[in-house]
Amino acid sequence: MLNIPNILTLIRLMLVPLCAMYLYKEQFLAALIIYVVASLTDIADGYIARRFDIVTNFGKVVDPLADKLLSLSTITILSYRGRIHILVPILIFVKELLIGLGGLLLYKKKHLVKSAKWYGKATTVLLFVSIVLVMFKATLFVGRVFMVVALGFAYFALFMYLRQFVGIMTREKGTS
């Protein structure tokens, strides 16, 4: 279970409260550096895991959890600081909760842990870009526009994951 990709994921988890603390203190440059480093660990762990065929169920579960904690804590504090509307973290949280509950149900019923799809990864990238832009007043408007696009894409991803979930659960009923 303890391999380089999983260690990188654990490092990202440890960076979440540090990033949140700097954001809360409105030390945006420090928060940005930590946020970018944490995001780079996401890219690195995924690449290494696939390249060297060391994908684990731990990684499939904890890696997206670390991503969600990083993005949710960041957008929540940005909302608290008045950079984005309060609905943004609420809508993102609802989307992540629904996907998380679906994943738990899928694991409980079918013992399946599904990897992220392209639309989930695209949502992560759009959120990353919008968060970075929103951190600085000079790019605040553009960041807010990106955030709206990211929200739209997040709900597109939710719809796509829901379709996949229903398909898997329907096949289960047909084979039982």
Range of the domain at 22: 4-175
Q: What does pTM read for this prediction?
A: 0.86
CA dist list (Å): 173 to 99, 124, 169 = 21, 32, 6
The contacts of residue 23 (CB under 8 Å, 6+ apart) are: 31, 74, 77, 78, 81, 135
Say how far residue 176 (Cα) sits from the centre of its chain: 34
Q: Is 107:118 a contact under the CB 8 Å cutoff?
A: no
Q: Is 65:26 a contact under the CB 8 Å cutoff?
A: no
> How far from each other are the two terminal CA atoms of the chain, in whole angstroms?
32
Cα dihedral across residues 130, 38, 19, 65: positive or negative: positive
pLDDT at 112: 78
pLDDT at 176: 44
pLDDT at 104: 86
Per-position DSSP letters for 23-79, written without gaps between them: HHTT-HHHHHHHHHHHHHHHHHHHHHHHHTT---HHHHHHHHHHHHHHHHHHHHHHH
Q: What is the CATH number of the domain that holds 164?
A: 1.20.120.1760
**How many structural domains comprise the chain?**
1
pLDDT mean by block of 10 residues, the chain; 176 residues: 91 97 96 96 92 88 89 96 95 93 86 81 92 92 95 95 89 56
pLDDT at 172: 54
